[in-house]
């Protein structure tokens, strides 16, 4: 199983120009960072008793951030975790992702999701009750723009005349040209249908039923003859600064056991939240994750 770093960098943290080379030097697989175009003041945050934490107000532009990371790394995968597809104009989003993939030498993982902040969606012209259908239409259009020379579209939520969209992405997968598409959402029939119909993999948060949910998705994929990957996110401790797994031996052992369980359960990549408040804290976290990565590559019987 591959191990990557889930990031929340912004103007108050150490720079992505420092973080990305450190993650690559630690031998980890990838970085993933999310986005929000803005946070309306009326937002009720799902945690922190509804109050919006400062870091959540400060997401930088995702594609500027990942372009900077691409410029200072060589092999590190660059993940969008996640792009709120319905809140973008699909022609512009297709070009942004393709440009990043081309400039990075084919290192993008395109994590996408439906969104949860109704006020943010409304400010971006999206009816929150229709976000999934907008998401599906836009993602279909983006895949067509990557695959075809000339594309026209006359849909419910977007329309444009026959057009060229260049550059094309560097990567090409089994299903279509373009980087792997990973749908970030909770387990459920609609999510799994979208994963199998539109994407290359599932991008969930970790949880007590993750292994069972992954097995269910794998069974559905096998029945349809559709390859799929699972890249799970473990964010515990990230919002608090120094992650819990750096605190003591028992916490590190717990993380290692969890990672091995996920690896044995068929999960392809585990993205673990890391602190970016200081270089020292990040170094501590990356040292732990390097050990976890090495352990998960060994035979489980040898991990002690």
The reported pLDDT for the residue numbered 266 is 93
Q: Is the pLDDT of residue 271 over 90?
A: yes
d(Cα 199, Cα 190) in Å, to the nearest integer? 13
Domain ranges of the chain: 2-302
Per CATH, which fold does 2-302 belong to? TIM Barrel (3.20.20)
The pLDDT of residue 80 is 98
Integer angstrom CA distances of residue 128 from 16, 86, 89, 142: 32, 10, 16, 21
Q: What is the pLDDT of residue 303?
A: 37
* Closest by CA position to 276, among listed 233, 246, 244, 242: 242
pLDDT of residue 300: 43
Q: b/e for 213-250, b at 16 or more Cβ within 10 A? A: bbeebeebbeeeeeebbbbbbbebbbeeebbebbeeee
pLDDT of residue 10: 96
Strands (E), 175-284: 181-183, 201-202, 229-234, 269-273
pLDDT at 164 over 80: yes
Closest CA to 35 of 15, 14, 65: 65
pLDDT of residue 298: 56
Q: Would you state the pLDDT for residue 240?
A: 60
C-alpha angle 92-93-94 in degrees, rounded to nearest 5: 90
Reduced to 3 DSSP states, what percent helix, strand and coil does the chain have, rounded to the nearest 5?
45, 15, 35
Would you state the structure tokens that stand for residue 304, as one six-digit string? 């002690």
pLDDT in tens, 182-238: 999 999 999 999 999 999 999 999 999 999 999 999 999 999 999 999 999 998 766
Q: Is the pLDDT of residue 157 over 70?
A: yes
Dist CA 132 CA 145 (whole Å): 20
pTM of the model: 0.95
- DSSP E strand boundaries for the chain: 2-7, 30-33, 77-84, 108-113, 151-154, 159-163, 181-183, 201-202, 229-234, 269-273
């Amino acid at each position: 199983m591959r191990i990557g770093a889930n990031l929340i960098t912004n103007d108050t943290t150490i720079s992505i120009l420092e973080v990305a080379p450190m993650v690559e030097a630690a031998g980890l697989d990838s970085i993933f960072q999310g986005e929000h175009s803005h946070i309306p003041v009326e937002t009720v945050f799902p945690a922190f008793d509804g109050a919006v934490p400062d870091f959540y107000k400060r997401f930088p532009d995702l594609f500027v951030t990942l372009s900077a990371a691409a410029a200072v790394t060589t092999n590190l995968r660059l993940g969008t975790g996640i792009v709120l597809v319905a809140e973008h104009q699909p022609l512009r989003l297709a070009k942004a992702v393709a440009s990043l993939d081309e400039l990075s030498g084919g290192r993008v993982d395109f994590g996408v999701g439906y969104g949860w902040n109704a006020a943010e969606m409304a400010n971006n012209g999206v009816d929150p009750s229709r976000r999934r259908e907008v998401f599906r239409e836009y993602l279909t259009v983006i895949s067509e723009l990557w695959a075809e020379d000339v594309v026209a579209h006359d849909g419910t939520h977007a329309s444009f005349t026959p057009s060229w969209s260049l550059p094309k992405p560097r990567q090409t997968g089994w299903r279509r040209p373009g980087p792997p598409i990973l749908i970030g959402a909770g387990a459920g029939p609609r999510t799994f249908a979208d994963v199998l119909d539109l994407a290359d993999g599932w991008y969930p948060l970790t949880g007590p039923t993750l292994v069972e949910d992954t097995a269910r998705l794998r069974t559905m994929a096998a029945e349809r003859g559709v390859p799929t990957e699972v890249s799970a996110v473990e964010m515990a401790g990230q919002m608090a600064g120094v992650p819990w797994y750096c605190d003591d031996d028992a916490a590190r052992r717990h993380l290692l056991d969890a990672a091995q369980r996920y690896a044995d359960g068929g999960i392809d990549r585990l993205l673990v939240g890391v602190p970016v408040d200081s270089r020292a804290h990040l170094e501590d976290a990356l040292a732990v994750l390097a050990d976890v990565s090495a352990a998960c590559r060994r035979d489980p019987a040898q991990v002690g």
